[in-house]
A and B are shown apart, each in its own frame.
Chain A
Amino acid sequence: MPVFLHTADWQIGKLFGQFDADEAALLAEERFAAVEHIAALATAHAVDAVLVAGDVFDAQTVTERCIHRLFHALRGYSGPWLLLPGNHDAALAESVWTRAERLAAVPSNVHLCLRAEVLRLDALRVAVLPAPLTQRNTHADLTEWFDAADTPPGWLRVGLAHGSVQGILAEDIDSANPIAAGRAARAHLDYLALGDWHGTRQIDAHTWYAGTPESDRFRANASGQVLRVVLGAPGTPPQVSALASGRYRWHDSAATLQVASDLDLLLAQLAGYGADDVVQLAVSGRCDLAGHRRLQQAVEQARGRARSLLADLSALQLEPTLDDIEALAADGYINEVIGELQAAQHGADLARAEAARDALALLAGLLDSRRGARHPGSAGGGQ
């Protein structure tokens, strides 16, 4: 019974511009680690081959160092690797694959599926039908040829493709690189290994998206794993199980503060983030200056603990209470300014409302620090 690891969408060479440079570098670095991890898993599970369903590289013109690093990362598994070009690394006339071959970076146990032709794994009596992208995007179904592809009788048929299955993934209905639903059945595939969808997903009994082995975005669910696929007799559904392969957990979090306890819950959530968390936090609603201060402190602390934290507090309105203002020792016309800024937060002019929120926070900070300077003993304690 042949056993494969099915993975895809490694996106090697991807950089994460939304993060600070050092964080982005760590995230990019982790993608190589994920590949090494896959190699280790393949060896540990003694699989017969690793199927990579496209988008190994994030771009065609990555650096030579990047190419060498990727193929070097495969050394942990000496069995056959089947690498399929996807839309990011399509097998163009001049591509990352031709470069890799020119650089002699491709080890002998790595097979690049650059052409749509049957690949025989004789020892396993398995015929692999790859559907490599030879254009960046195509609107033709490249798996069409699977239907009529001739394979030795009695052999298992395994498809390898990259694209979106039609009618299954709602947001990809009109996307490029379509794959007809039911391709596995029509082409009598025992297994169809798909890439492009970054989350693990089963399409039918014989068809799976492996998802990316290391999450690279906030919206993909069930990413960060590879699939272990055990094939039975021809025609029978494979046994598929997911193996965790990723390190970083990507959280896309949104909170709306209405009452004081909302803030407490959010702070508890922030306190829970650790070194393997990549967080995107958007806070809306309203809070008083003290609460805002606590939130900011908590965000800074969480930023120190988590791998990365993107906090967007721009939608959070500041509602200074009388206590706040008294605590700030704001009097006279400064008090008037505070009142006006507070009112401007709700204005129709969104830019001015945002500026007003920022100005209010800024003013609160200035007053707070002044008060601290004037009354060192009583700063931060609350009155």
Chain B
Amino acid sequence: MKLTRLRIEQLRQFRAPFEIRDFAPGLNLFSGPNEAGKSTLVAAIRAAFFERHRSGAVDDLRPWGDSAAAPTVELDFELGGQPCRLVKSFLARKRCELRIGTQGLDGAEAEDRLAELLGFQHAGKGASKAEHWGIPGLLWIQQGAAQELREAVGHATDHLRSALEASLGEVAASGGDDLLASVQAQRSELLTEAGGRPRGPYKDALEREAALAATLGGLDAAIAHYRQRVDALASLRRAHAADELEQPWVDCRRRQHEAAERLQAIQAQQDSLAAEGQRAEAAERRAALLRSQLEAWAREDQALAARAAAQAEALAARDAAAAPLAHWQARQEGAARELDAARAALRQARQQHARAQLARDAAAAAARAQACARQLAEAAGAREALLAVQRAAAASAIPAAELKTLRTLERQLAEVHIQRDAAATRLAWVLQADCALRLGEATLSGSGEIRLTAPASLELPGLGRLEIAPGGGSDLATLDARGDELADRRRTLLARLGLPDLAAAEARELEHSRLQQQLAAAQATLQALAPQGVDALGAEHAALQARADELARALADAGGEGAGDGGDKVSAAGPAPTAGDTPPLSVDQAEAAEQAAAHTLAAIQGERHRAQLAAADAASRLDAATRELAAARALCADPVRAARIAQSSAELTDALAERKALGARIEALQQHIAAARPDILQQDVERFRATAEELETQHRVRRDQLMRLEVELQTEGAQGLEERRAECARDHAQAARRAGELRRRAAALDLLLGLLQDKRRALTRRLQAPLQKHLNRYLQLLFPQASLEIDENLTPGPLTRGVESGDFEQLSFGAREQMGVISRLAYADLLAEAGRPTLIILDDALVHSDAERLAQMKRVLFDAATRHQILLFTCHPANWRDLGVAARSIDDLRAGAAQ
């Protein structure tokens, strides 16, 4: 395509017609300052091709303020060897005329033809946009857009391919990219771009199918479970019915009861065994009792023998004890005699002593009386009465101490008598009239009673003699002795007092008291009648006389002969005939002798007493033994006892026999019980009971289970599981069908897309080769040793310079601009080879290139201009001075046109 003439009118600042003729077939350089109209010229060319003449979106072409303008572009060009003219008016006068050679076209037809020839599209509505521009969009570089290559190539690719197919043969497909896009879009609905995984409706269908399959599986499981339980229900019912019919627990209960009864029977036997055991024990106890009884009786017999022996022993002991007694008896008698002699001697000694004392007193008293009498003679007279009284009083006076002693003696003596009476052996007798017994010296006849204080011998005429020994022998002897002593002392005292007995003493005491009173009265009279001294003398005389008299009397009473004989000579007529040779003993000596004899006697008496006691003891033992022996004999001799012994023996035999019989029965019972195994029976009872209970429970549980299962199944049956499953299966089948269809569709689309892409890629590779060739031609001029790859969209890819490699976009702005230009030139070469029209327009391009690069680019452009017409508009004409063509100034051209 070669532009030969351009004419514009009523277009922006070109209100007046403006024409450029004689375009060169190669390079055409137009220069002008800003606002000169360079871009308006480019815009006019673009509008002439791209915009429909009827478009209302071309107001920018209208001159400012001229609403009636009809912007007109008139182009003469040569296309495919034929001269063509395009005349296009907009807005006020919408017109499009095209003449190709001799063929003339009008309006839209003309516009469509142009688009087809040049490889672009018209906008359906509104202003034409980059996506419609196709090949011209690629080759007509707008101001400042040289570097924006990829988009322009993208819009042109399809046109490039179809345009190039002539040179490449019938390999390109018309509308291939649309088809591809359509297939890709359809595939994208079903599969992801990247991994080819299901998406959209395909994914939904798969998911729905899977979900329904899961639901179906669940329902199948539920139905299987339901069916299983229906079967379980049937078997439960059968088992239940069989149970109802057979009632197996009844048999178990019966067997349990049987076992229990047997167990009870055994337990009864066990009870009787216990009873028999008790009876055996009772028999045992009875036998033991009887045995002990018999043993007791045997012990009694033994005791009898022992008693007899004991009695014999006691007898011997008594005999043995009797011998010392006789010995001590004799000794005692001797001692008693000696004591008696000692006492007689003492008594004599005391009498003599008293007599001597009395004699001395009497003599003294007589002397004193005589002396006093003389004095008294002188005081006779009036005191006669007093004296008489005094005499009388004196005569009756008894010393109080002596009286007291006497009394004491008397009382003690009486007590001794009483004690002796009490201790004496009482012997009473009643004899036949003609009989008499001799007791000692006495003869006993008739009846009477005597108390024996000493052993006595009782002669039983014709029979023998009874020796009677009073029990309290020593006491009696003591008492006798004491009584004798007391009697001696009393006798002595009485003798000294000159009184016969105590009664006389008492009487004289009473008399004396009376006389004392008289004397007091007489003394008072004498005192009154006579002064004292004489009276006292008289009294003294009287007293002395009286005393002397008294003493004389006493002496006379005591042994007057002695006194009479002159005193100191002891009379041979004394009580102790043996004492004749012995000198009279002093009182002390006598007392000592008496005491010694008493002691001897006492000692002998003690021994005798002991012997006596031993004898008595032996005798009493003998008595006891004798009694016991008698008792034992009596016991053993009891005829009842013999009968009882015999009876007990018989009973013992019976008890033992019973015990034995019971033992046999107990053993039999034990064996029987052991054979019956009550423990096992108990276990049987337990086992049958447990079994029956288990069976009953099982029956009950089964019944409950049945009811529960029935209710469950009824409930679940009402849910229509299988119908739901059928519905689900239907839905699932449909979903599976849909998923299958989509799968097939996806597979078909995938296959188709793959194939289309493969084929397209192969085609692209075939297109790339010549483009690469043209591109490299220019590239070597600009960047020696560099290489640029072309991708499948025919856009420049990474640029490799030596070891460096980088994408087009990463180059500097200037480099990109340069690459954009050479790429377009390469496309133009490609199109030219395919016989397609090429026109290259550069509007103020390469302004960012440095001088060196610009110089290279000028070489490139000059080279390209040998194959293509190039229109280059610039505001820097100096930069292009060495391009090889002269720059034409727009302003000059306008001036020329105006002329």
Q: Bound pair: A and B? A: yes
- A-side contacts of B732, CB under 8 Å: 17
Is the Cβ of B230 less than 8 Å from the Cβ of A13? no
**How long is the Cα–Cα vector from A333 to B760 in the complex, in angstroms?**
7
A138 to chain B, nearest CB (A): 13
Is the Cβ of A332 less than 8 Å from the Cβ of B230? no
B 171-193 to A, binary, CB cutoff 8 A, 1 in contact else 0: 11111101100110000000000
**How long is the Cα–Cα vector from A336 to B713 in the complex, in angstroms?**
65
Q: Which single residue of chain B is at the shortest CB-CB distance from A59?
A: B722
- Check if A341 is an interface residue, CB within 8 A of chain B: yes
Q: Which of A91-99, A122-130, A189-197, A215-223 is near enough to bind chain B?
A: A91-99
Partner of B226, one of A16, A61, A352: A61
A 341-356 to B, binary, CB cutoff 8 A, 1 in contact else 0: 1001000000110111
Residue count of chain A within 8 Å CB distance of chain B: 54
Q: Which single residue of chain B is at the shortest CB-CB distance from A310?
A: B737
- B-side contacts of A66, CB under 8 Å: 720, 723
A26 to chain B, nearest CB (A): 13
**How long is the Cα–Cα vector from A245 to B500 in the complex, in angstroms?**
188
Partner of A355, one of B179, B226, B748: B748
Partner of A333, one of B173, B236, B749: B173
- Check if A261 is an interface residue, CB within 8 A of chain B: no
- A-side contacts of B745, CB under 8 Å: 358, 362
Partner of A334, one of B179, B223, B230: B179
A286 to chain B, nearest CB (A): 18
Q: Which of B56-64, B422-430, B751-759 is near enough to bind chain A?
A: B751-759
Is the Cβ of B174 less than 8 Å from the Cβ of A60? no
Q: Which single residue of chain B is at the shortest CB-CB distance from A103?
A: B718
- Check if B233 is an interface residue, CB within 8 A of chain A: yes
B472 to chain A, nearest CB (A): 128
Is the Cβ of B752 less than 8 Å from the Cβ of A16? no
Q: Which single residue of chain A is at the shortest CB-CB distance from B713?
A: A94
Which positions 248-267 of chain A face chain B at CB distance < 8 Å? Answer: none
Is the Cβ of B718 less than 8 Å from the Cβ of A331? no
Partner of B178, one of A92, A314, A358, A370: A370
**How long is the Cα–Cα vector from A102 to B713 in the complex, in angstroms?**
12
- Check if B504 is an interface residue, CB within 8 A of chain A: no
Is the Cβ of B755 less than 8 Å from the Cβ of A341? yes
A216 to chain B, nearest CB (A): 12
B 701-729 to A, binary, CB cutoff 8 A, 1 in contact else 0: 00000000110011011111111011101
Q: Which single residue of chain B is at the shortest CB-CB distance from A334?
A: B173
Q: A355-B748, A366-B179 are in contact. Are A334 and B731 (CB under 8 A)?
A: no
Is the Cβ of A332 less than 8 Å from the Cβ of B763? yes
**How long is the Cα–Cα vector from A344 to B233 in the complex, in angstroms?**
59
Partner of A64, one of B172, B718, B747: B718
Q: A17-B729, A21-B730 are in contact. Are A359 and B717 (CB under 8 A)?
A: no
A217 to chain B, nearest CB (A): 14
- Check if B415 is an interface residue, CB within 8 A of chain A: no
- Check if B313 is an interface residue, CB within 8 A of chain A: no
Is the Cβ of B752 less than 8 Å from the Cβ of A363? yes
Q: Which single residue of chain B is at the shortest CB-CB distance from A338?
A: B755
- Check if B431 is an interface residue, CB within 8 A of chain A: no
Main secondary structure of the interface of A (DSSP, over half): helix
Is the Cβ of A92 less than 8 Å from the Cβ of B726? no
Is the Cβ of B717 less than 8 Å from the Cβ of A94? yes
Is the Cβ of A366 less than 8 Å from the Cβ of B170? no
A276 to chain B, nearest CB (A): 21
- Check if B271 is an interface residue, CB within 8 A of chain A: no
Residue count of chain B within 8 Å CB distance of chain A: 57
Q: A359-B749, A370-B175 are in contact. Are A61 and B760 (CB under 8 A)?
A: no
Is the Cβ of A61 less than 8 Å from the Cβ of B751? no
Is the Cβ of B723 less than 8 Å from the Cβ of A354? no
- Check if B511 is an interface residue, CB within 8 A of chain A: no
Q: Which single residue of chain A is at the shortest CB-CB distance from B226?
A: A61
Which positions 799-825 of chain B face chain A at CB distance < 8 Å? Answer: none
Partner of B172, one of A18, A61, A333: A333
Q: A337-B755, A358-B745, A366-B183 are in contact. Are A329 and B720 (CB under 8 A)?
A: no
A333 to chain B, nearest CB (A): 3
A14 to chain B, nearest CB (A): 7
Which positions 204-242 of chain B face chain A at CB distance < 8 Å? Answer: 223, 226-227, 229-231, 233-234, 236-237
- A-side contacts of B172, CB under 8 Å: 331-333
Which positions 303-343 of chain A face chain B at CB distance < 8 Å? Answer: 314, 329-337, 340-341
A 102-114 to B, binary, CB cutoff 8 A, 1 in contact else 0: 1000000000000
- A-side contacts of B223, CB under 8 Å: 61
Partner of B179, one of A13, A59, A367: A367
Is the Cβ of A63 less than 8 Å from the Cβ of B723? yes
- Check if A244 is an interface residue, CB within 8 A of chain B: no
- B-side contacts of A337, CB under 8 Å: 752, 755-756, 759
- Check if A58 is an interface residue, CB within 8 A of chain B: yes
Q: Which single residue of chain B is at the shortest CB-CB distance from A67?
A: B720
- Check if B744 is an interface residue, CB within 8 A of chain A: yes
Which positions 1-48 of chain A face chain B at CB distance < 8 Å? Answer: 13-18, 20-21, 24
Which positions 575-589 of chain B face chain A at CB distance < 8 Å? Answer: none
- Check if A62 is an interface residue, CB within 8 A of chain B: yes
Most buried by B among A134, A332, A341, A363: A332
- Check if A186 is an interface residue, CB within 8 A of chain B: no
- B-side contacts of A356, CB under 8 Å: 748, 751
- Check if A136 is an interface residue, CB within 8 A of chain B: yes
Most buried by A among B178, B720, B732, B747: B720
**How long is the Cα–Cα vector from A62 to B727 in the complex, in angstroms?**
11
A 71-113 to B, binary, CB cutoff 8 A, 1 in contact else 0: 0000000000000000000001111100100100000000000
**How long is the Cα–Cα vector from A170 to B494 in the complex, in angstroms?**
182
Q: Which single residue of chain B is at the shortest CB-CB distance from A60?
A: B722
Most buried by A among B174, B750, B751: B751
- A-side contacts of B760, CB under 8 Å: 333
Q: Which single residue of chain B is at the shortest CB-CB distance from A58?
A: B726
B688 to chain A, nearest CB (A): 32
**How long is the Cα–Cα vector from A331 to B748 in the complex, in angstroms?**
20
**How long is the Cα–Cα vector from A49 to B174 in the complex, in angstroms?**
76
- A-side contacts of B730, CB under 8 Å: 15-17, 21, 24
Is the Cβ of B174 less than 8 Å from the Cβ of A351? no
Which positions 347-396 of chain B face chain A at CB distance < 8 Å? Answer: none
Most buried by A among B714, B726, B759: B726
Q: Which single residue of chain A is at the shortest CB-CB distance from B727?
A: A15
Q: Which single residue of chain B is at the shortest CB-CB distance from A24?
A: B730
**How long is the Cα–Cα vector from A370 to B720 in the complex, in angstroms?**
52
**How long is the Cα–Cα vector from A102 to B705 in the complex, in angstroms?**
19
Q: A13-B726, A359-B755, A366-B183 are in contact. Are A61 and B173 (CB under 8 A)?
A: no
B25 to chain A, nearest CB (A): 33
Q: A337-B752, A340-B755, A366-B182 are in contact. Are A332 and B722 (CB under 8 A)?
A: no
**How long is the Cα–Cα vector from A16 to B727 in the complex, in angstroms?**
9
A70 to chain B, nearest CB (A): 12
B 759-799 to A, binary, CB cutoff 8 A, 1 in contact else 0: 11011000000000000000000000000000000000000
**How long is the Cα–Cα vector from A359 to B187 in the complex, in angstroms?**
11
Is the Cβ of A93 less than 8 Å from the Cβ of B233? yes
Q: Which single residue of chain B is at the shortest CB-CB distance from A363?
A: B752
**How long is the Cα–Cα vector from A370 to B172 in the complex, in angstroms?**
17
B202 to chain A, nearest CB (A): 14
Q: A17-B734, A59-B726, A61-B721 are in contact. Are A330 and B173 (CB under 8 A)?
A: yes
Partner of A13, one of B173, B176, B722: B722
- Check if B733 is an interface residue, CB within 8 A of chain A: yes
Question: Assuming A17-B726, A333-B756, what are 15 further A-B pairs, CB within 8 angstroms?
Answer: A13-B726, A15-B723, A16-B730, A59-B722, A60-B717, A61-B716, A62-B722, A63-B723, A332-B174, A333-B759, A337-B755, A337-B756, A359-B749, A366-B183, A367-B179
Q: Sort A-B residue pairs by CB-CB distance and give the 3 closest, nearest first.
A: A332-B173, A59-B722, A358-B748
- 16 A-B pairs, CB-CB below 8 angstroms? A16-B730, A60-B230, A94-B229, A94-B230, A94-B714, A94-B717, A134-B234, A136-B227, A332-B176, A333-B762, A333-B763, A334-B173, A337-B759, A341-B751, A358-B748, A370-B182
